[in-house]
Structure 1
Amino acid sequence: MPASRACLLDGEALAARLRREIATAAADLRVRGVTPKLVIVIVGDRADSAAYVARKSADCAETGIAADIVRLPAQTTQARLLDVVAELNRDPAVHGFMVQLPLPAPLDETAVLDAIDPAKDVDGCHPVNLGRLLAGTPDIVPCTPAGVLALLRHHEIAIAGRAVAIIGRGMLVGRPLSMLLSLKGIDATVTLLHSRSRDLAATVHRADIVVSAAGTIGLVDKTMVKPGAAVIGVGISSDADGRTVSDIDDAVAQVAGFVTPRHGSVGALTRAMLLKNLVAIAARAA
């Protein structure tokens, strides 16, 4: 197999730098009498959700952000969960909070997320915050799209006027990322692809930047990638050995100019952007 030549898009290293900046900002706020506080609501006992919450809690401890975890049983009713959301909306000591997804059936995720105060929506996924992004006046930006943009900028990858192919049209990544990268001042030319798209491989091959958020192992292979392109794997899946891997096949590194690693990278940036959003919200109370 030919040696890899792509530059590694190391989101873990960038996230570590961002956490240091966030820690400094949090310390400055504490001097001004404001201790940034995040609350995470988790319903049920999914192992993956528990792992995500543990990482977020550890990031808070590292950066000097107060963090509380509200644990609710899987049998929690919709009414009870909405009561918890309403309590957090009213609590002036809580600057931001999130409800860890997915929620157990039959809970209505849309109704729960819609009930969050947009001003405390650290995930940036409330319809009000998504609407501001769509209108070109973003306030609290969704975390994973913000992380992808930060990764591209950190590596000085040209975006303006470049063709971007985004695979996946979900509300957490694909749709808001397409809006973010096409904003005036960022100026990418974005194509949003999905399971019903025709000629997906050909469209991806024309792109200067490829972002896959499909959650399909090896979806993007080296035959689909334009030489020198920047390729970012956001979607994750578990392989036969139980390891979490991205949508990007290892051999893509033989063709791409920039590529994220097989394991990790964007997840750490997503968590960093969550805390960045929280500190920005807390600063409004200072």
Structure 2
Amino acid sequence: MLLLEGKSVSKALRAKVKEEIAALSSAVKRVPGLAVILVGEDPASQVYVRNKEKACEEVGITSYSYRLPHDIGQENLIKLIRELNADDRVDGILLQLPLPEGLNTQACLQAIDPRKDVDGLHPENQGRLALGLKALRPCTPAGTLFLLDYYKYDLEGKNCVVLGRSHLVGRPLAMMLNDKTMNATVTMCHSKTRNLKEICRQADFIFLAIGRPRFLTPDMVKEDAVIIDIGINRTEDGLCGDADFKALEGKVAAMTPVPGGIGLMTISQLLENTMQAWKYAMGLIRLEDLA
């Protein structure tokens, strides 16, 4: 079985971003800027934010951190977002999710300027994605496709099953796979899907983003399938994915590990998106030229 590890792939993407920023920043007289907003004290979110800030420094992106109390209030949070929309130093705005209870996540995401929406979650960017138009794309799905391209997988005509329908991963990933640049045949499944085992057994590629530890088992796959595990679950035994890795290890053709797989790609794609937003803001590329 081929292990599709994300460390070398993530490193390659970061090297690309660093090289482009170094080559272009002298001409436009500034480097990209990313504003990171963290509301509350969620421990996992704090770790994610620190990792993102460290990654920005690594590639030459200036990060601006805004750590806010959990009781900041909807009005004050949206006021900050609008100020960052107008700040010429800031090319990307990252609102760390989940937000504390009492805050309207969708309203906050919609307040972000779509041109600075480096998470690709604004309705305008998701709508452009649905229409097959260029836009800033959600980081995890885009990073997933970068990994597949790195390992030289051609998905044209392949039967792909996406397990999960969230607007963060499942839905945008299904749209990207079905786009004319990928030309995959996509079935999007979820917890209410009937005959799920039979559907998965026909898949050449299975993309897991369902949030259930070790959900995918050997009786659900064919022997030459490729498993892309996007799930990250915290269990008593530590982190694990949505696939039963040990049970599947000897049966499938290739699989991503958890941790060490797609999770590494998400932050690297955030850096890529921030660079793309910066290039667009600086007039170096058109909207149609977004990667």
- TM-score bracket for the superposition, by shorter chain length: over 0.9
Paired amino acid for 2:10: A
The alignment status of 1:9 with 2:4, answered yes or no, reads yes
**1:19, 1:63 within 8 Å by CA — same for their partners in 2?**
yes
Paired amino acid for 1:133: L
Partner of 2:39: 43
d(CA) in 1 for partners of 2:178, 2:199: 18
Moved over 2 A (4+): none
Secondary structure in 2 matching 1:14: helix
1:50-69 alpha-carbon deviations (Å, 9 max, x no partner): 01101111111111110111
Partner of 2:183: 187
d(CA) in 2 for partners of 1:236, 1:129: 25
Which deviates more from structure 2 when the two are superposed, residues 43-52 or residues 153-162? 153-162
**2:140, 2:269 within 8 Å by CA — same for their partners in 1?**
yes
Partner of 2:13: 18
d(CA) in 1 for partners of 2:233, 2:16: 31
The alignment status of 1:235 with 2:255, answered yes or no, reads no
The alignment status of 1:92 with 2:88, answered yes or no, reads yes
Partner of 1:143: 139
Deviation at 1:285, TM superposition (A): 3.3
Deviation at 1:264, TM superposition (A): 2.7
Return 5+ residue gaps in structure 2 as ranges: 283-291
The alignment status of 1:174 with 2:170, answered yes or no, reads yes
Paired amino acid for 1:135: L
**1:259-274 map, 5 Å:** 259-274=255-270
Deviation at 1:263, TM superposition (A): 1.7
**1:198-217 map, 5 Å:** 198-217=194-213
**1:34, 1:282 within 8 Å by CA — same for their partners in 2?**
no
Partner of 1:3: none
Return 5+ residue gaps in structure 1 as ranges: 1-5
TM-score, length-scaled by structure 2: 0.94
Partner of 1:279: 275
Secondary structure in 2 matching 1:284: helix
1:165-200 alpha-carbon deviations (Å, 9 max, x no partner): 011000000000000000012101101110111111
**1:234-253 map, 5 Å:** 234-241=230-237, 243-250=238-245, 251-253=247-249
Which deviates more from structure 2 when the two are superposed, residues 248-257 or residues 185-194? 248-257
Secondary structure in 2 matching 1:254: coil
Paired-residue identity, %: 38
Partner of 1:164: 160
Aligned residues: 280
1:31-67 alpha-carbon deviations (Å, 9 max, x no partner): 1112101011000000000011011111111111101
Pick one of 121, 125, 133 that aligns with 1:125: 121
Pick one of 91, 99, 104 that aligns with 1:108: 104
**1:163, 1:188 within 8 Å by CA — same for their partners in 2?**
yes
Secondary structure in 1 matching 2:249: helix
Paired amino acid for 1:30: S
d(CA) in 1 for partners of 2:7, 2:122: 27
**1:227, 1:255 within 8 Å by CA — same for their partners in 2?**
yes
Paired amino acid for 2:20: A
**1:29, 1:36 within 8 Å by CA — same for their partners in 2?**
no
d(CA) in 1 for partners of 2:42, 2:7: 25
1:112-147 alpha-carbon deviations (Å, 9 max, x no partner): 001100000001111101111100112211111111
Secondary structure in 2 matching 1:132: helix
Paired amino acid for 2:70: A
Secondary structure in 2 matching 1:169: coil
d(CA) in 1 for partners of 2:116, 2:281: 12
**2:232, 2:258 within 8 Å by CA — same for their partners in 1?**
no
